[in-house]
Structure 1
Amino acid sequence: MATEKIAKAYRIRDTAADVDELVKHHTGFVEFINQFFRCETIRNEYRGQDAALQTLQRNATALAREIEKLAPATGRLSSPENAEYPWERDEKILVPCTFDFPNLTMLRQASGRAVMNLVERAFNDFERLRIQ
């Protein structure tokens, strides 16, 4: 949920996105990630390191897609696993606090930690960074 909110905050402040549409949906983190990597500050920091920047963006986009799936309103029929409510599978009730979320294994890898560092930066540098 935190990633959804930071994505909406940047997009409301820095883009011409329709506010009413943004607040209706639980997605938008992937779009924010792509815009964040176009940010002049980020591009300047990775000047001459195009391969590293592309790898980080690819990993961030992949992880952002998986994080978006954690919202219960997103793809509930095809992917009932979510971070808020219990769901049923094979006649068992599963709850988020005990579920392993195998789609998030990247978080335990260096690439996932690098992405989460970027998310932390988006939170900490909100006043300084602009996505447009």
Structure 2
Amino acid sequence: MGRGPAGGDGGDALEGEIFCARRLEVSTAQELVELVSGQARESLLDSDGLDPMRDNGVRAGWAARGLVAYVVHLGGATLTEEISVAAGDLLADLRHLFDALGLDWDAALASADMHYRAEIVGEL
């Protein structure tokens, strides 16, 4: 079932089956806007937890909507940028927000990584 590009950072190797979200074939922020604009919002509340690939697709959809809101707010050239540039800009701005709120960026990343790893092996 869903072996995919988990980790990739040289961290701990994951054993067993990996359930990454289905790949979204977009290259620009505008393409992502168009992809998610017509999709219904999904929830994990109606999930029985037996399809972690579907659940991780729902999670990816939530994040896609957040990235879309960011690029639409900025508008202009941001919409035509490669998706990796727009995502990187959002992460940088989130780090500025963490500074402004007095939150620990490294602790948040560690927690996010722990949750991500549990989700892709089907534990959450």
- After TM superposition, the score normalised by the length of structure 2 is 0.31
- After TM superposition, the score normalised by the length of structure 1 is 0.29
**Between Structure 1 and Structure 2, which shows a larger proportion of strand residues?**
1
